[in-house]
Amino acid sequence: MKRLFAAVLLSVLLGCADSTEQPVSIDLEELTIESIHRAYQNGEFNSQQLVQAYLDRIDKLNPSINAITYINENALEVAKKLDEEIGENYELKPLHGIPIIVKDNINVKGMPTTAGSIALLNYYPEEDAFIIEKLKEAGAIILAKSNMAEWAFSPMHTESATQGTTRNPYNLDYVPAGSSGGTAASIAANLGAVGLGTDTGNSIRGPSSHNSLAGFRTTLGLISRSGIVPLMLRNDVVGPMCRSVEDAVRVMEVMVGYDSTDLITNYSQGKTENNYRQYLIKNGLEGSRIGVLRQIMNDNTDPEISGLFDNALSELKVLGAEVVDPIEVPNFRELSEDQWCSTFKIDLETFLEQYVQSDSLQTIEDIIKIGTPSEFAERRLEGYASKTGRWGRAQTECLDAYQDARRIAFRKAIRAVMDSLELDAIVYPSWNNRPAGIDSFEEEYLGDNNQVISPHTGQPAFTVPMGFLSDNLPAGIQFLGRMYDEGTLIKLVYAYEQGTAHRKAPVVD
């Protein structure tokens, strides 16, 4: 796979070298959608030149972090067409000429979708996922696919059978978390403008926290998942992973909408908005009430995380928020237990039937026969093949977030506390512990708070940077909101980001 990546990259760099007009020097560090569009309009550079600059940077830095798996060989051609559209008084599309990095479980026509597995190594989808269609319509350029934990199984690290292990660009001796670690590492290292990840329990917010990014897990039902290799559809979401809240909002806004092929989006009808950017308010924390959920922390919380979190609470107060510390959710531990249901087998086999359509690849048993070099992935495959239903409380039926009795009870309990205390959001550390070592992730995987609430309740949860630990390792603070109340979360996290400016770019050699 690495040889394939190198060959494709070389062909892109050589075969399309003449299509970018005159080469220009572009400082790629921390570029935003707004600054890119301003540069296009001012004639500083065009999208072909920007794509080429990112390709050059990938060629230089990706060997160190191993985040990119496949380059879109048509990226420069798409960029050229977008450049030709720009004329006098032309109004740019929302994502016009914005190079985006896509996790390798999301279908992009003409590019492989492997989900990090050998079984799907030769699967090239014939059509785009629903959200990819929307992104392309908005002018985005699919620049590359990113590495992921095989089948999205691991929140601990990002290791695929096709590409190997991705490293954290802030410190190569540590993991970027999983399973969307390839997107997180590549966007953190400025290998693309914006990125996409998927999140079943952790996989947008965990890697975003570990890589000093804004990561959005939106309300379950707000954005379609069709054309995406599932882990557990009852929990799966897809969302932005970006260096800034504003960029994440711009990407999210484009993807929102009903999709007849993903029934969970039925619940979003009448609850979405066309303009989420209106909530990008710098003083958005003024007059807000924020609850602190210390129940999700424990006695083993890393002292450095506790210090950063307490500092973040002080920052919220300085920025105008009233902080209610602590809050208590009655029966929190009991409500959070036994929420997981194993639906991987049926969800994956449905995907294989609808999209892959291969006579030799129809069941999870077919995948097990093909094999994997990862003992971890092998154990998970065998476990999911034999175990379906709820992990505990087997008598309770597994349903979606709008019908499952345990999920509804958990959500109602949290909503009751928020309503009684008139809270706009609840905050807690995205992780209680620091990132694990690249060679000791199984022993050091501790403190993952991303799994506990929003994947089960369906509520939106956004993580943003709250500073750095020793060894130059990032940490994030998470804001949990009410169903379909993305606007309030955007207002709060944007104000916090703008008022603190904790993100800084990694130095990658």
Q: How far is CA 61 from the centre of its chain?
A: 21
Mean pLDDT calculated for residue range 411-425: 98
What the block records as the tokens of 109 is 């026509």
For residues 105-117, b (16+ Cβ closer than 10 Å) or e, as one string? bbbbbebbbbbbb
Mean pLDDT calculated for residue range 492-507: 98
Mean pLDDT calculated for residue range 256-263: 97
Question: Dihedral, CA atoms, 31, 37, 41, 42, nearest 10 degrees?
Answer: -20
What the block records as the tokens of 479 is 């804001």
Looking at residue 6, its pLDDT comes to 44
Cβ contacts of 462 within 8 Å, gap of 6 or more: 205, 214, 215, 216, 217, 245, 248, 478, 479, 481, 489, 490, 493
pLDDT digits (tens, 9 = 90+) for 304-315: 999 999 999 999
Q: How far apart are CA 17 and CA 36, in angstroms?
A: 21
Asked about 103 being catalytic, the answer comes back as yes
Closest CA to 161 of 346, 9, 384, 370: 370
Looking at residue 394, its pLDDT comes to 66
Asked about 179 being catalytic, the answer comes back as yes
Cβ contacts of 498 within 8 Å, gap of 6 or more: 282
Mean pLDDT calculated for residue range 38-52: 97
Q: How far apart are CA 370 and CA 24, in angstroms?
A: 47
Closest CA to 443 of 209, 156, 149, 153: 156
**Which entry of 47, 103, 134, 160 is annotated as an active-site residue?**
103
**Which entry of 179, 268, 288, 374 is annotated as an active-site residue?**
179
pLDDT digits (tens, 9 = 90+) for 345-367: 999 999 999 999 999 999 999 99
The confidence band for 21, taking pLDDT boundaries of 50, 70 and 90, is: low
The confidence band for 88, taking pLDDT boundaries of 50, 70 and 90, is: confident
Q: How far apart are CA 43 and CA 409, in angstroms?
A: 55
Q: What is the pTM of this model?
A: 0.95
**Which entry of 203, 224, 226, 268 is annotated as an active-site residue?**
203
What's the whole-number average pLDDT of the chain?
A: 95
Q: Quote helix, strand, coil % in the chain, to nearest 5.
A: 40, 15, 45
Least confident range from 19-33, 93-107, 304-318, 329-343: namely: 19-33
The confidence band for 462, taking pLDDT boundaries of 50, 70 and 90, is: very high
Looking at residue 90, its pLDDT comes to 85
Q: Amino acid letter at 76?
A: L
Q: How far apart are CA 328 and CA 138, in angstroms?
A: 43
Looking at residue 12, its pLDDT comes to 44
Looking at residue 17, its pLDDT comes to 41
Q: DSSP for 481-499?
A: --TT-HHHHHHHHHHHHHH
Tell me if 465 sits within 8 A of 502, measured CB to CB. Answer: yes
Closest CA to 185 of 161, 153, 213: 213
